[in-house]
Structures are given as structure tokens and as C-alpha cells.
Amino acid sequence: MSHVSADTSLADTREDDVPWLSADQLRDWQALMGVLMTLLPALDVQLKRDAGVNVFEYHVLAGLSGAPDRALVLSDLAVLAQGSLSRLSHAVTRLERAGWVERRDCVEPGRRVEARLTDAGMAKLEEVAPGHVREVRRLVVDVLTAAQLSTLGEAARAITAATLAGDPEACRDVSDC
């Protein structure tokens, strides 16, 4: 696994021959950085203002809502919501305190715990979703052509694949569980 790559001389911090980006590449990269720096915070603002949850918590609720019996083992949910287990645990604590989620010990092996969306949580999600979707449309979907959005999705999948490569835990889809 960890052997073989051609550039393994990490002890030597000087690996030259890193070609700089072309003017076009730089421009497009900077544009992407702009989105990375501004879009998530903008979505966070809307959700916190109108619903009192942040983006990650929203995705936890949404993830649970689509699961069988509205429940998932925490480590699976962490993968689905794209966060660390620790981050998830903190988030679930907050959501539990609000009454939208509850923890339940699994009967099965190991020290497994599942989070389950309560009825109040489902109601909350249904109340919150339209405003969130509206914002996603306003900031993303509606400002792009269908072709742009499609290419954006393709590119995003390629980037995510590269980003998660070497992190086998984070790679698997929730459908693997």
C-alpha cells in the first residue's frame, strides 16, 4: 500500500520540478478557491439564520431521513455526512439535545450505536428543506446552464476521488454498509 510511489523522498523537502500553473489554470483555480471560501459559509448563514442548524447538522438529518428505519450506525453516518466520527459525535449530541435525533445501542456486535431521526427531527427537516433548496438554486443551480452543472458535477467527482484516495474509510459509499 504505502510502498512504491515514485516520489517517496519526503524527508528531502526539496522536490523541485513542480511546474507552476499556466495563466488559465491559475485563473480557474482561483475561481474555484473563491467558491470554496464563500459558498459553504453562505449556506451556513442561511441555515443558521432560518433553522438554527449548520450545514453539517443538516446533512446528518438528511442522511438519516433517507435511511431504512431512519437510523444509521454512527460510523456509517459519518461517512455519509463526510465528517470525522468525532465531529459527528459532537453534532449528534447537539441534535439529541434539540430532540431531533436519539442514540440507540445496537444489539449487534462491537460497541455500535445508531442515531435515529425522531418524528420531531423529520418534521424539522421538512420545515427546513425548502429554504435550503431555494438557496442552493439561487446560488448554484439557477446560475448555471444544464451543461455547466453537468460538467461541474463530473469535475467534482474526479476531485473528490483524488482527495479521498488513500483514505479507504472515507471512500466507501453508504450503500456498502
Partner DNA sequence: AAAGATTGACTGGTCAATCTTT
Partner DNA sequence: AAAGATTGACCAGTCAATCTTT
118 binds, among its own copies, DNA, none (CB under 5 to 8 A by kind): none
Sign of CA dihedral 37, 40, 41, 46: positive
Nearer to DNA, 60 or 125 (CB): 60
Site for DNA, residues 48 to 67, rule: CB under 7 A: 54, 56
The answer to whether residues 117 and 95 touch, using CB atoms and an 8 Å cutoff, is no
CB of 107 to DNA, least distance (A): 8
Closest CA to 124 of 105, 98, 97, 145: 98
Footprint (CB under 8 A) of its own copies, residues 100-119: none
| Nearest-10 Cα torsion for 45, 51, 54, 60 | -150
Q: Residue 114: beta bridge partners?
A: 73, 104
How many residues interact with DNA (rule CB under 7 A)?
26
100 binds, among DNA, its own copies, none (CB under 5 to 8 A by kind): none
List contacts with DNA (CB under 7 A): 41, 45, 54, 56, 73-75, 78, 83-87, 89-94, 103, 109-114
